[in-house]
A and B are shown apart, each in its own frame.
Chain A
Amino acid sequence: GENVEQHPSTLSVQEGDSAVIKCTYSDSASNYFPWYKQELGKRPQLIIDIRSNVGEKKDQRIAVTLNKTAKHFSLHITETQPEDSAVYFCAASLRNTGFQKLVFGTGTRLLVSP
């Protein structure tokens, strides 16, 4: 079945630095890739998503890139702030299931130090 690998599992940066989280997926037919942010004790919230017909998408300090050939996608956060500290999950949507079945990575704990 579909497998999504996410790296690194933990990431510590200084405020103002950039952070990059990478994910790879196995199903070449996957066509939707959301990223969720989960703060401690809170619900996962969508921060950005990308569809397979697009190579890059930006929203202020956050960007996601997709390489369909290599089957990997990355989350880039620039000018990190302490409030960016959270666990980030990538996901890939399976095709041919009749619905948007998401397979999640195991998460990256990002710590931004002031």
Chain B
Amino acid sequence: GAGVSQSPSNKVTEKGKDVELRCDPISGHTALYWYRQSLGQGLEFLIYFQGNSAPDKSGLPSDRFSAERTGGSVSTLTIQRTQQEDSAVYLCASSLLGLAVQETQYFGPGTRLLVL
């Protein structure tokens, strides 16, 4: 079946502009996660959704970052007033049940964001 998809695959923007990144999880997956991958670094947790609720937003770097999920499916990560340090690959993952279940997180291909 279809895996996790993300759009756009690449985004170049100017400092100060807002950007929206989209994630389509695997159909039926309850949990959705956003991560950020900076060059040469590991994956940094940003936010977790269980259904449409976000019980853990602790990884969002600043109040310029926000995310929502609608219909228990598509999620959008919004970065307002982008800064050069926001340049990174933003990865989305989904898993079937979420909560504290030990299960595989399936990743999307990522959106490569470059802020000039």
Whether the pair A43, B56 counts as a contact (CB closer than 8 A) is: no
Q: Quick one: which of B42, B98, B103 contacts A89, CB cutoff 8 A? A: B42
Contact flag A44-B42 (CB < 8 Å), given A100-B98, A100-B100: no
Whether the pair B45, A49 counts as a contact (CB closer than 8 A) is: no
CA distance A35 to B104 in the complex (A): 10
Whether the pair A43, B55 counts as a contact (CB closer than 8 A) is: no
* Majority DSSP secondary structure for residues of B touching A: loop
Contact residues in A for B2 (Cβ distance below 8 Å): none
Whether the pair B107, A102 counts as a contact (CB closer than 8 A) is: no
Contact flag A101-B56 (CB < 8 Å), given A43-B109, A44-B91, A89-B42: yes
Instruction: Assess whether B34 is interfacial by the CB under 8 Å rule.
Output: no
Residues A47-61 near B (CB distance < 8 A) = 49, 51
Instruction: Assess whether A114 is interfacial by the CB under 8 Å rule.
Output: no
Instruction: Assess whether A69 is interfacial by the CB under 8 Å rule.
Output: no
Instruction: Assess whether A26 is interfacial by the CB under 8 Å rule.
Output: no
Whether the pair A89, B56 counts as a contact (CB closer than 8 A) is: no
Residues A77-111 near B (CB distance < 8 A) = 89, 91, 93, 97-107
Whether the pair A51, B55 counts as a contact (CB closer than 8 A) is: no
Contact residues in A for B105 (Cβ distance below 8 Å): 34, 46, 100, 102
CA distance A63 to B100 in the complex (A): 25
Smallest Cβ distance from B109 to chain A, in angstroms?
5
- Given contact pairs A43-B110, A44-B91, A89-B42, enumerate 7 new A-B contacts (beta carbons under 8 Å): A34-B105, A43-B3, A44-B43, A98-B100, A100-B101, A105-B42, A106-B41
List B residues at the A interface (Cβ < 8 Å).
Answer: 3-4, 31, 35, 40-45, 48, 50, 55-56, 91, 95, 98-110
Return the 4 tightest CB-CB contacts between A and B, nearest first: A104-B42, A104-B43, A32-B102, A43-B107
